[in-house]
């Protein structure tokens, strides 16, 4: 469906992959820092890691630098 956003489409693929494929492997960590560009890929990564942070018990931080200053 062309009206479905890129993030929604990727989330649907991600749900199918987690249901049918291997689980996301995250090494034990106290915190993870995500470099966030603001685009759909890094936004999706941040969303997925936020969801996993609850079950894997790590703190999640995002860093964004605006170079247009």
Specify the pLDDT at position 25: 66
37-47 pLDDT, tens digit per residue, is 888 888 888 98
Output the pTM of the full model. 0.59
Per-residue tokens: 38: 């603001």
Q: At what angle do helices 40-56 and 6-20 cross, to 10 degrees?
A: 40
**Residues of the chain below pLDDT 70:** 1-26, 69
Q: Which residues contact 62 (CB under 8 A, 6 or more apart)?
A: 33, 34, 35, 36, 46
Specify the pLDDT at position 61: 94
Helix (H) or strand (E) holding 9: helix 6-20
């Amino acid at each position: 469906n062309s009206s479905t956003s890129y993030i929604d489409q990727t989330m649907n693929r991600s749900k199918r992959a987690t249901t049918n494929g291997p689980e996301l492997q995250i090494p034990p960590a106290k915190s993870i820092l995500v470099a966030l560009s603001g685009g759909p890929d890094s936004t999706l990564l941040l969303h997925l890691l936020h969801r996993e942070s609850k079950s894997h018990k790590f703190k999640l931080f995002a860093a964004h630098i605006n170079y247009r200053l």
